[in-house]
Amino acid sequence: MFSKLPRNLRKTVGFRLALWYSGIFILSSVLLFALAYFLLSSSLSRQDQQTIQLKLKELSALYETGGMESLKREVTVEKKFEKKAPLLIRVAGSDNKALLLVIPYQWAEFDIKQLERINPTKKMTWIRLPAKHNKNVLEIASVRLPNNYVLQAGKSTEYRAKVQRHFREIFVAVMIPLVLLALFGGTFLAFRALRPVRHLITTIRSIGAGKMDARVPSPQTGDELEELVVLFNGMLQRIETLINGMRDSLDSVAHDLRTPMTRLRGIAEIALQSDQNGETCQEALSSCLEESERILKMLNTLMDISEAETGVMKLDRELIDVSGLMKEVLDIYHYVAEEKNIDIHLTLPPDLSLIADPIRISQAMANLLDNAIKYTPVGGKIDIEARQLKQEILIAIKDSGIGIPREEMPKIWNRLYRGDQSRSQKGLGLGLSLLRAIIRAHKGRIEVLSEPGKGSTFSIYLPAHS
């Protein structure tokens, strides 16, 4: 039936789902009808047999009390109701020849003579006499009377067959719209159920064609498909952000590399053009070394950031004494702070520890402290505090420095971003990006509060070990 449909359509999940829906619906309906048909048929057949048996009992009781005369009287009365509930009644002698026979006129199709050839032996025997020209059957029950006579009562299956035929006709009449309903319903349901999948395909195609901002419309059904769409859109958003980030980083790297590279070239050119005395060359070489070190540092830090962000960075986690680690970091910046007459105040509980990579955490803390000292004017103040929270360890560095303007706040985490006011200071604009990447790699988070002219507080939250 479906072989003439285009192959592509037959292959679609929608088509197959529609077929399954309709198939199951139709099969269930057929089974339901079949069960009802079976129950109806067996109930009608049981009813007929009970009527016959009752009549036999009644007639044999009459025969026992009033003999053949009584039976004849009863049969005459019976004839009056023949039309309503036709019944065959036959009394045969011991030679099986009929002594009394009442057969409704409409049952002429049965060859009653045949009964003379069937001699019922048991107490109660059932005989099935088929009609001559159709499928009707005369169901006859026989009992032996005390004088060895045979008493028989029977009923044609004609009425039953009529009811069954009527039932089958109803079945066919109901089944045609039911099949149509199942096919349309199945197609509609499959079409609706697969709408998000079609949107997904269209979106993926658009992305393939370069439309990175394409998103799948949410079906708003609250089911697994909506969850899939939300997750898929989230993933697309993340990919787009990452690609944009990479593009921006590449632009920034290219831009930031151009300056030192031009400088390098300039120094080398000047050194070559000069009269090439040893001292000038030496100076030029050391400047080149300085510049190349700066470039190398920038590239290494960029690599570290992407390793930490992509989860490739190897973390050698161990139990760290927070107070000890912070003091070690402070030792490195101690002199710079002293030079600027910055007062550093520590609040570090002695028994605070966490599980992390000591080198990476030191690097992150050094970046924070370096910034705090760099962006705090002479005579300022820095507070370093560490504290155990419910499930986290908080390390906060608060300075009384220049602060960060509100509009710069979202950008400070970007690679190679440098604030307007900070250009006079040395730096690559990578410290905070690396810090955040390292903290995130440790499943931690970082928050910043800042007020221009008053200072900034960077708070790091790392998971406490259990």
Which residues are near ligand ADP by CB under 6 A? 367, 371-372, 375, 399, 401-404, 412, 417-419, 422, 427-433, 456
As a dihedral over the C-alpha atoms of residue 163, residue 139, residue 42, residue 25, rounded to 10 degrees, the angle is -50
DSSP 422: G
Residue nearest to ligand ADP (CB): 419
- Quick one: 284 or 368, whose CB is closer to ligand ADP? 368
Q: How many CB atoms lie within 10 A of CB 79?
A: 14
Report the nearest approach of ligand ADP to the CB of residue 427 (Å): 2
Closest distance between ligand ADP and the C-beta of residue 258, in Å? 18
Residues constituting the chain:
466
Intra-chain end-to-end CA distance of the chain, in Å: 66
Structure tokens at 377: 């004017």
Q: Shortest gap between Cβ of 423 and ligand ADP (angstroms)?
A: 8
Read off the tokens for 144: 């032996």
Nearer to ligand ADP, 96 or 414 (CB): 414
Nearer residue to ligand ADP within complex by CB, 317 or 340 = 340
Counting beta carbons within 10 angstroms of the beta carbon of residue 77, is it exposed (0 to 12), middle (13 to 18) or buried (19 or more)?
exposed
Q: Which is nearer to ligand ADP, 51 or 421 (CB)?
A: 421
| Cβ at position 371, least distance to ligand ADP in Å | 3
Min dist CB 386 to ligand ADP, Å, is 18
Toward ligand ADP, which CB reaches closer, 82 or 383? 383
Give whichever of 120 and 431 is closer to ligand ADP, judged by the CB atom.
Answer: 431
Q: Report how far residue 383's alpha carbon sits from residue 391's, in angstroms, rounded to the nearest whole number.
A: 23
Residue 458 Cβ vs ligand ADP, minimum distance, rounded to whole Å: 7
Least distance (Å) from ligand ADP to the CB of residue 254? 18
Distance CA 155, CA 444 (A): 90
Which residue number, 46 or 297, has a Cβ lying nearer to ligand ADP?
A: 297
Record the tokens describing residue 221, joined without a space: 């059904």
For residue 253, what are the contacts with CB-CB under 8 A and spacing of at least 6? 298, 302, 415, 416
Distance between CA atoms of residues 461 and 395, nearest Å: 7
By beta-carbon proximity to ligand ADP, the closer residue of 256 and 399 is: 399
Q: Residues 253-278, buried b or exposed e (16+ Cβ, 10 A)?
A: eeebeeebeebbeebeeebeeeeeee
Rounded to a whole number of angstroms, the minimum distance from the CB of residue 309 to ligand ADP is 15
Cα distance between residue 77 and residue 146, in whole Å? 24
Closest residue by Cα to residue 100 from 115, 85, 80, 82 = 115
Q: Cβ contacts of residue 94 below 8 Å, gap of 6+?
A: 147, 148, 149
DSSP structure string for 176-244? HHHHHHHHHHHHHHHHHHTHHHHHHHHHHHHHHTT-TT--PPP----SHHHHHHHHHHHHHHHHHHHHH
**Which residue, 14 or 429, has its beta carbon nearer to ligand ADP?**
429
Shortest distance (Å) from residue 422 CB to ligand ADP: 4
Of residues 86 and 455, the one with the C-beta less far from ligand ADP: 455
Residue 352 CB, nearest distance to ligand ADP (Å)? Answer: 23
